[in-house]
Amino acid sequence: MNAEIRPMRTPAEQGLSGELKNLPLTGDARVRALREAAAQAFNDNGLPHRRVEEWKYTDLRTLMREALPISSPAQSAQVEAHARLLIDTGARRLVVANGALVPELSDLADLEPGLSIAPLGTALAAGGDLVARLGTLEPGRYDAALALNTALAADGVVIAVAAGAVIERPVHVAHVFSGKAAASFARNLVVLGEGAGLTYAESFEGPEGVAYQVNSATEFVVADEASLDVVRMQEDGASALHLSTLLFEVGKGVKLNAFGFASGAAVARTSLYARLDGADSAVAFNGAILLKDRQHADSTLFVDHRTTGCESRELFKHVLDDSSRGVFQGKIVVRQPAQKTDGRMMSRALLLGDDAEMDNKPELEIFADDVACGHGATCGAIDDDLLFYLRARGIPLKEAQSLLVQAFVGEAIETVANDELRDALVARAEAWLKARA
Partner 1 sequence: MAMLDIDNLHAKIEGEDGKEILKGLSLKVNPGEVHAIMGPNGSGKSTLSYILAGKEDYEVTEGSVTLDGEDLLEMAIDERAAKGVFLAFQYPIEVPGVATMTFLRSALNAQRKKRGEEEISTPDFLRLVKDKAAGLGISQDMLKRGVNVGFSGGEKKRAEILQMAVLEPKIAILDETDSGLDIDALKIVSEGVNALRSPERGMIVITHYQRLLNHIVPDFVHVMHKGRIVRSGGKELALELEANGYAEYQQDAA
Q: Where on the chain is the footprint of partner 1 (CB under 8 A)? A: 384-386, 388-397, 399-400, 403-404, 406-408, 410-411
The kind and range of the H/E element at 155 are none
Query: Which residue type, as a one-letter code, is found at position 360?
Result: N
- C-beta closer to partner 1: residue 377 or 386: 386
Min dist. Cβ of residue 221 to partner 1 (A)? 36
Min dist. Cβ of residue 411 to partner 1 (A)? 6
- CA nearest neighbour of 377 among 341, 350, 354, 409: 350
Residue 34, exposed/middle/buried by CB under 10 A (0-12, 13-18, 19+)?
Answer: middle
Q: How far apart are CA 130 and CA 191, in angstroms?
A: 8
- C-beta closer to partner 1: residue 277 or 399: 399
Min dist. Cβ of residue 227 to partner 1 (A)? 27
- C-beta closer to partner 1: residue 308 or 401: 401
- C-beta closer to partner 1: residue 163 or 403: 403
Min dist. Cβ of residue 401 to partner 1 (A)? 12
Min dist. Cβ of residue 396 to partner 1 (A)? 5
Centre a 10 Å sphere on the Cβ of residue 15 and count the other Cβ atoms it contains: 17
- C-beta closer to partner 1: residue 231 or 400: 400
First to last CA, the chain: 49
DSSP output for 387-417: HHHHHHTT--HHHHHHHHHHHHHHHHHTT--
**Contact in structure between 183 and 68 (CB atoms under 8 Å):** yes
Q: How far apart are CA 115 and CA 158, in angstroms?
A: 11
- C-beta closer to partner 1: residue 186 or 400: 400
Residue partners of 119: CB distance under 8 A and separation at least 6:
100, 101, 103, 155, 156, 157, 158
Min dist. Cβ of residue 318 to partner 1 (A)? 16
- C-beta closer to partner 1: residue 80 or 399: 399
**For the chain, how big is the Rg over CA atoms in Å?**
21
Q: How far apart are CA 415 and CA 259, in angstroms?
A: 8
Min dist. Cβ of residue 382 to partner 1 (A)? 11
Min dist. Cβ of residue 317 to partner 1 (A)? 11
- C-beta closer to partner 1: residue 120 or 352: 352
Min dist. Cβ of residue 270 to partner 1 (A)? 25
In this structure, the dihedral spanned by the alpha carbons of residues 240, 75, 97 and 420, taken in order and rounded to 10 degrees, is -100
Query: Which residue type, as a one-letter code, is found at position 90?
Result: G
Min dist. Cβ of residue 138 to partner 1 (A)? 39
Distance of alpha carbon 335 from the chain centroid: 25
**Contact in structure between 430 and 399 (CB atoms under 8 Å):** no
- C-beta closer to partner 1: residue 133 or 391: 391
**Contact in structure between 100 and 181 (CB atoms under 8 Å):** no
**Contact in structure between 379 and 360 (CB atoms under 8 Å):** yes
Q: How far apart are CA 376 and CA 371, in angstroms?
A: 17
Min dist. Cβ of residue 403 to partner 1 (A)? 5
- C-beta closer to partner 1: residue 174 or 350: 350
- C-beta closer to partner 1: residue 43 or 406: 406
Q: How far apart are CA 311 and CA 276, in angstroms?
A: 10
DSSP one-letter code for 337 = T
